Amino acid sequence: MVSSSVLGPKDTSQSLQLRTFSVIDCLEPAAPGDTTAVQPSVLLIEDDLRIRRVVQLGLAKDGFDVAEAPTGEDGLAMLGDRSFDVVCVDVMLPGCDGFAVCHGVRRDSDIPIIMVTARADSHDVVRGLEAGADDYVSKPFMVPELSARIRALLRRAQGAQVRHRVRAGDLEIAPRDGVVLRGGRPLHLTRTEFRILCELAAAPGRVCSRAELLERVWGHGYFGDSRPVDVHIGRLRRRIEADPGRPEIVLTARGLGYRLQT
């Protein structure tokens, strides 16, 4: 079965191993024969043809419309020609690698990005998140895991709660309008950075733990460590703080989490 394939690193003779897995409840695939449901679009950037085909077939079975790109350059060109709901990009690409793709996408888009790493390497994961990825999956992985992470990102993108405007320092956070203003001018934040800021602004002064942010921003049922929270907080501070090394808006409660200072 395609959906039970475990996709391993490129340096393991390209073999696709099989193992059993339990059903992941949050996949929520479209009902069979339902031609009216809108299929979320995914751009898969992967140079290994066999991995691309396995992932494409598995995601299509789960109700996604998948377009494939064998190189980073091709992927960026496709993003310029049409819109996608999610980008899934392998780090180890020839030429324009996954990190460069993330930087290229983030120059003018906040589309959710999932990075595929060859291993759970802290350096690669942090570097990818710093480059703009919203989440990551490490090889070997199963297609249902990737599908679940994609759906979690889509829920985050569509599920922002409406709240009143909040002022923090010289910032004005406007969740209803989807903007953060400084001096009346909008700041460019990624969707993940904006969601984190909105969650902190929902209760100014209250400490929000990493676990809470993972559940509310990355989605209920997120499975993974808390590194994405810390990395995205760092990115957010570089965008909104006068001195990111001495933050005055998003503060750290050591050992507990983060809070918004108003």
Which structural domain, as residue segments, surrounds residue 190?
166-260
Q: Which of 102, 124, 158 is the last residue of a domain?
A: 158
Cβ count within 10 A of residue 102: 23
Q: Are residues 143 and 182 in the same domain?
A: no
| Model confidence at 195: pLDDT above 70 | yes
pLDDT digits (tens, 9 = 90+) for 65-107: 999 999 999 999 999 888 899 999 999 999 999 999 999 998 8
Q: Are residues 194 and 216 in the same domain?
A: yes
Q: Are residues 142 and 239 in the same domain?
A: no
Q: Are residues 42 and 100 in the same domain?
A: yes
Phi first, then psi, for residue 135 (nearest 5°) are -155, 170
Q: Are residues 176 and 218 in the same domain?
A: yes
pLDDT digits (tens, 9 = 90+) for 112-167: 999 998 766 678 888 899 999 999 998 888 999 999 999 988 877 665 544 578 88
Q: Are residues 7 and 77 in the same domain?
A: yes
Q: Which of 123, 138, 158 is the last residue of a domain?
A: 158
Q: Are residues 175 and 62 in the same domain?
A: no
pTM of the model: 0.61
Q: Which of 102, 137, 158 is the last residue of a domain?
A: 158
Q: Which of 27-31, 136-140, 215-219 has the highest mean pLDDT?
A: 136-140
Q: Are residues 18 and 81 in the same domain?
A: yes
What CATH number is attached to the domain comprising 121? 3.40.50.2300
Q: Are residues 235 and 198 in the same domain?
A: yes
Q: Are residues 219 and 194 in the same domain?
A: yes
Q: Are residues 76 and 170 in the same domain?
A: no
Q: Are residues 77 and 150 in the same domain?
A: yes
The domain total for the chain is: 2
What CATH number is attached to the domain comprising 248? 1.10.10.10
User: d(Cα 32, Cα 137) in Å, to the nearest integer?
Assistant: 27
pLDDT digits (tens, 9 = 90+) for 34-63: 444 468 899 999 999 999 999 999 999 999
